[in-house]
Amino acid sequence: MKKILALVLTAAMLLACFGALAEAPEGYPEIKEGIDFGGKDVYIYDYWSGSDWSTQTTDLSEEQQLQYDYRTWLQDTYNVKIHQIQNGDWNTCAQVMIDFVTNGGEDDKYALFIVEPGKIGSLMTNGVAADWNYDFSGEKWNQLDRDFVTIGGKTYGRYAGYTEPRAVLYFNKRVLEEAGIDYNTIYDAQANGTWTWAMFEDMLKTLTRDKDNDGITDVWGFTGSFDDMQNAYVFGNGGKWFDFDENGKLYPAMNSDAVLEALTEARKLRDNYFYAQPADGNWDYYKEAFKSMDIGFYSYQCYGGLAFGNGDSSTTELANMEDEWGLVAFPVKEAGTNYITVGSGCDNITMIPSCYDAETVQKLAFLYDMWTNDTPGVDTENAWIGDKYNMTDERAIDETYYHLLTNSVANRVSLLGTQNDVLGASLLWNMDGTPAEIIEAGMPAWQALCDTFNSAGN
Tell me the per-residue pLDDT of 162-213, one tens digit each, with 9 for 90 and over: 888 999 999 999 999 999 999 999 999 999 999 999 999 999 999 999 999 9
Q: Is the pLDDT of residue 14 over 90?
A: no
Domains and CATH numbers, the chain: 36-163+346-383 (3.40.190.10), 167-345+384-455 (3.40.190.10)
* 113 in Cβ contact with 93 (< 8 Å): yes
The pLDDT assigned to 346 comes to: 72
How sure is the predictor about 344, in pLDDT bands with cuts at 50, 70 and 90? low
* 89 in Cβ contact with 49 (< 8 Å): no
Measured between alpha carbons, how far is 329 from 331 in angstroms, rounded to an integer? 6
Average the pLDDT over 67-82 and give the result.
97
The pLDDT assigned to 137 comes to: 87
Average model confidence (pLDDT) across the chain: 91
How sure is the predictor about 23, in pLDDT bands with cuts at 50, 70 and 90? confident
Q: Is the pLDDT of residue 97 over 60?
A: yes
The pLDDT assigned to 310 comes to: 82
The pLDDT assigned to 457 comes to: 59
The pLDDT assigned to 16 comes to: 37
Comparing 4-18, 218-232, 321-335, which segment has the lowest mean pLDDT? 4-18
Q: Is the pLDDT of residue 21 over 70?
A: no
Q: Which amino acid is at 336?
A: G
Average the pLDDT over 113-125 and give the result.
90
Name the E strands within 279-394.
Answer: 295-301, 325-328, 341-342, 349-351
The pLDDT assigned to 13 comes to: 37
Considering only residues 57 and 371, tell me which one the structure prediction assigns the higher pLDDT.
371
Alpha-carbon separation of residue 437 from 98, 238, 430, 432, 446 (angstroms): 39, 21, 11, 9, 15
Considering only residues 127 and 145, tell me which one the structure prediction assigns the higher pLDDT.
127
Q: Is the pLDDT of residue 458 over 70?
A: no
Average the pLDDT over 294-307 and give the result.
97
